[in-house]
Amino acid sequence: ELALMYSAPRAATVVCAEDAVLWAVDRETFRMLILSLMVEKRKRLTDALAKTPLLSGLGDSERAGLADMCEDIYFKAGDLIIKEGESGSSFYILLEGSCIAFQKNASGDKVTVMDYKGGDYFGELAILGTSSPSRRASIEVTSDDCHCVQISEAVFGRMLGAFRSQME
């Protein structure tokens, strides 16, 4: 794809090990497909950011910039997105799926403290600096599939540094 996007020399030679059907995409078609996907992703993420109460004070340009810096992450049932006690450096917006926040009691049993569904967010306290950076609960995926966007502390600070004090 680098050769298609930037007219760069190909990085490798591909040889078929058996008979195959080959499809080819010209440079312009490839660029248009990539651009279309990027625009669609930005729109989807800016819409999600606009619905996030923590980010409600952002303008359209800040949301668009932040959307470009978000990382899509996918999880499966039972995955731990955040682990209680670990240091936190990102927060998450849950786009699809469901999760629970839980803490372990003195006997080691899970105690659910919050349920999350699409549109909810978690992990923000670690990057806002309002408390210890250690995670206060674990976040576990309860649906078959889960799609989140991750916003790292570095991206958050770079994009929203001036806005941070209003959010706290």
* Domain harbouring 54, CATH code: 2.60.120.10
* DSSP letter string, 152-166: EHHHHHHHHGGGHHH
Query: Is 6 inside a domain boundary?
Result: no
- The answer to whether residues 102 and 140 touch, using CB atoms and an 8 Å cutoff, is yes
pLDDT in tens, 143-164: 999 999 999 888 877 776 655 5
pLDDT in tens, 61-118: 888 888 988 899 999 999 999 999 888 888 899 999 999 999 999 998 999 999 999 9
Query: Is 139 inside a domain boundary?
Result: yes
Q: What is the mean pLDDT of residues 25-31?
A: 88
Query: Is 16 inside a domain boundary?
Result: no
Q: Which distant-in-sequence residues (6+ apart) come within 8 Å of 88 by Cβ?
A: 82, 123, 125, 126, 127, 133, 134, 135
Query: Is 9 inside a domain boundary?
Result: no
Q: How far apart are CA 140 and CA 98, in angstroms?
A: 9
Q: What is the mean pLDDT of residues 12-27?
A: 90
- Domains held by the chain: number: 1
Query: Is 14 inside a domain boundary?
Result: no
* DSSP letter string, 94-136: EEESEEEEEEE-TTS-EEEEEEEETT-EE-HHHHHTSS-SB-S
In the three-class reduction of DSSP (H, G, I as helix; E, B as strand; rest coil), residue 32 is classed as helix
> Which structural domain, as residue segments, surrounds residue 154?
27-167
Query: Is 47 inside a domain boundary?
Result: yes
